[in-house]
Amino acid sequence: MTSMPPLQTLPGVVPAWQETVSREDLRSLCLTQKEQGARLVSLWGSDEGEENFDLHLALAVQGGLRWLRVSLPAHDPTYPALDDVFANANRLQRATHDLLGLLAQGAAESRPWLRHSAWPADRFPLRKGEDGQVYPPLVREPYPFVTVSGQGVHEIPVGPVHAGIIEPGHFRFSVVGERVLRLDTQLGYTHKGIEKRAESLAPAALIHLAGRVSGDSTVAGAWATAQALESILGRQIPERAEWLRALWLERERLVNHLGDLGYLCNDVGLSAGFSLFWALKETALRTHEKLVGHRYLHDQIQLGGVARALTVSDCQSLREEGVTLEREVHRLQELLQEHAGVQDRYVSTGRVTPELAARLGLVGLAGRASAQAWDLRVSCPTPPYAQAEVRMATRTQGDVAARVAVRFDEVFESLRLIRHFIEYLPSGPSLWNDTPPLRAGVGVGWVEGWRGEVFVALELGAQGQVRRWHPEDVSMSNWPVLEHAVQGNIVPDFPLINKSFNLSYSGQDG
């Protein structure tokens, strides 16, 4: 094992260390790290040329990130499976195989995750030699769903095409009566080759692309990518820009929680709650459009800062709106807490125990509702969160009611943080007035989005071009937990449980 010096660490970037690990030592190292409390954040691969591939792992450790790099020979790109060490490695291993052909030996399952017969089984689109390839039409391969047999057991297939504008995903329920015995999901339909598209992009174009991995998390995705770029360039952004980025991140968290709380009312038949929450969300979205020209804050994060510096009048508008939102959300929270029908549907539904959450690596909003006390704004704070003393919202019940409660707590905390950022917003520039020369290097970005953490690993080549960009949304790790949360519940409760997680289809498909 070769320890390397810390990656370029700036005040606004989480500390990270990169190490080279042999294939033979990888598994024992991961077991040791797991025993010491480490958590797998991401697993991905890269094509290093004709001689070898690299396998990469990002582990959350005390005080930052540990980035492990394992060289695999091109003639034998295999490594020991890690899904029995880190449960969330399962789908990451499968996706890495589909894209690059790196094979996890001894894995619990090897079903394709992203391929969907879109390219031949012996072709791997992230390899360097696959640039611009057009694959011929393929015969559709059946997906080997897990089957459950027994007296009275039958299957209910749902999707992949859904009503309205919901993104595609296939859900295969094995049920007895209305009780769910097992759920097997097949996602990957929204795979868009975004990691391949990133190769050789200019930095500004890469941040633009990052903000579109999952449209409801544009600030988090773009900020994580900007962090990685800025750390490679070795230049800190203006202090005012750090605070404005955090302000927009909290606004993104706010509008998404308001929308989800509305949907969670709708799924239990409380149409008044749905309408009222969405009226509040619409108010906030219109404010965004008025202030920055985009309802969902696209392209506000720029290399070296933010696109628009708020005026005194803008800040006053946000402050006044925050007062109204806080008052109305308190009223709606009381309505839900006092509504017996709502509580009957929320309480004990879709429960993920703290023990199961810890074993499966559940993180983000859903994890905090199951006693997994991890929030980057608190656990690894960067400016301005380090000064704001963020109050982490947690619950222990792990059911729909707990996930709703965490959302309410985070709405109120986001409103408090927005007030804090406005009140103490530093003066000065909010964007670099020039761009430093590009150079080769590696960097990471790690941001607590509204669902949970968004991770980015970035490598620039000798001329500063993008060699490898890997974005990871928390949904990739959390989708398998939803399959467990549904077990033992009735089929009609699936939409409610699903919405209480509200994981991204697009953000985890790349």
Average pLDDT over residues 237-264: 98
pLDDT at res. 270 = 97
Q: Are residues 257 and 400 in the same domain?
A: yes
Q: Are residues 220 and 115 in the same domain?
A: no
pLDDT tens digits for 119-172?
A: 899 999 999 988 767 777 788 888 899 888 888 999 999 989 987 778 899 999
Residue 3 has pLDDT above 60, yes or no: no
Average pLDDT over residues 237-258: 98
Q: Does the residue 166 lie in any domain?
A: no
Identify the domain boundary among 81, 114, 130: 130
Q: Does the residue 164 lie in any domain?
A: no
| CA atoms of 329 and 510, how far apart (whole Å) | 35
Q: Are residues 210 and 322 in the same domain?
A: yes
| CA atoms of 52 and 25, how far apart (whole Å) | 18
Amino acid, single-letter form, for residue 374: W
CATH number for the domain that contains residue 44:
3.30.460.80
| CA atoms of 507 and 454, how far apart (whole Å) | 9
Q: What angle do CA 416, 420, 423 make, to 5 degrees?
A: 135
Q: Which of 86, 37, 78 is nearest to 480 (CA)?
A: 86
Share of the chain above pLDDT 70, in %: 97
Q: Using the CB atoms, write b or e for 229-264: b if 16+ within 10 Å.
A: bbbbbebbbbbbbbbbbbbbbbbbbbbbbbbbbbbb
Q: What angle do CA 448, 452, 458 make, to 5 degrees?
A: 60
Q: Are residues 121 and 220 in the same domain?
A: no
Average pLDDT over residues 210-217: 94
CATH number for the domain that contains residue 406:
1.10.645.10
Q: Are residues 206 and 58 in the same domain?
A: no
Q: In what order do the strands lie in the sheet with 64-73?
A: 2-6, 16-21, 64-73, 52-61, 39-47
| CA atoms of 221 and 447, how far apart (whole Å) | 8
Identify the domain boundary among 112, 130, 148: 130
Contact call for residues 114 and 187 (beta carbons, < 8 A): no
Domain that holds residue 271: 194-472
SS3 readout for 258-273:
HHHHHHHHHCCCCHHH
Identify the domain boundary among 113, 130, 147: 130
Long-range contacts for 133-139 (Cβ within 8 Å, ≥24 apart)?
none
Residue 360 has pLDDT above 80, yes or no: yes
Q: Does the residue 149 lie in any domain?
A: no
pLDDT at res. 4 = 58
Q: Are residues 204 and 118 in the same domain?
A: no
Q: Does the residue 63 lie in any domain?
A: yes
Average pLDDT over residues 256-276: 97
Q: What is the largest CA-CA distance in the chain?
A: 71
SS3 readout for 98-166:
HHHCCEEECCCCCCCCCCCCCCCCCCCCCCHHHCCCCCCCCCCCCCCCCCCCCCCEEEEEECCCCCCCC
pLDDT at res. 135 = 78
Q: Are residues 289 and 411 in the same domain?
A: yes
Q: Does the residue 151 lie in any domain?
A: no
pLDDT tens digits for 75-95?
A: 999 999 999 999 999 999 999
Contact call for residues 413 and 448 (beta carbons, < 8 A): no
Residue 251 has pLDDT above 90, yes or no: yes
Q: Are residues 211 and 308 in the same domain?
A: yes
Q: Are residues 123 and 213 in the same domain?
A: no
Amino acid, single-letter form, for residue 323: V
pLDDT at res. 1 = 54
Q: Following CA atoms 238, 285, 375, 460 in sequence, which dihedral angle do they give, to the nearest 10 degrees?
A: -50
Spatial neighbors of 353 by CB under 8 A, at least 6 apart, are 370, 398
Spatial neighbors of 11 by CB under 8 A, at least 6 apart, are 236, 242, 382, 383
Task: Give residue 326's pLDDT band: very low, low, confident or very high (50, 70, 90).
Answer: very high
* Token digits of residue 183: 């759920």
* Token digits of residue 182: 């097992």
| CA atoms of 43 and 48, how far apart (whole Å) | 16
Q: Are residues 9 and 90 in the same domain?
A: yes
* Token digits of residue 305: 């800062």
Q: Does the residue 59 lie in any domain?
A: yes
Task: Give residue 32's pLDDT band: very low, low, confident or very high (50, 70, 90).
Answer: very high
Contact call for residues 492 and 344 (beta carbons, < 8 A): no
| CA atoms of 370 and 368, how far apart (whole Å) | 5
Residue 11 has pLDDT above 80, yes or no: no
Q: Does the residue 170 lie in any domain?
A: no
Task: Give residue 199's pLDDT band: very low, low, confident or very high (50, 70, 90).
Answer: very high
| CA atoms of 326 and 302, how far apart (whole Å) | 30
Task: Give residue 8's pLDDT band: very low, low, confident or very high (50, 70, 90).
Answer: low
Q: Mean pLDDT of all residues in the chain?
A: 94
| CA atoms of 222 and 204, how far apart (whole Å) | 10
**What is residue 39's three-state secondary structure?**
strand
Residue 488 has pLDDT above 70, yes or no: yes
Q: What is the pTM assigned to this prediction?
A: 0.96
* Token digits of residue 227: 């962090």
Task: Give residue 510's pLDDT band: very low, low, confident or very high (50, 70, 90).
Answer: low
pLDDT at res. 200 = 82
Q: Are residues 334 and 444 in the same domain?
A: yes
- What is the enclosing helix (H) or strand (E) of 52? strand 52-61
| Total number of domains constituting the chain | 2
What is the rounded end-to-end Cα distance, in angstroms, of the chain?
Answer: 31
> What is the pairing mode between strands 64-73 and 16-21?
parallel
**What is residue 182's three-state secondary structure?**
strand
Cis bond before residue 125 (omega within 30° of 0): no
| CA atoms of 238 and 184, how far apart (whole Å) | 47
Q: Does the residue 118 lie in any domain?
A: yes
Q: Are residues 112 and 232 in the same domain?
A: no
Spatial neighbors of 509 by CB under 8 A, at least 6 apart, are 114, 187, 188, 189, 190, 191, 192
Q: What angle do CA 287, 322, 507 make, to 5 degrees?
A: 60
> What is the pairing mode between strands 103-105 and 78-80?
parallel
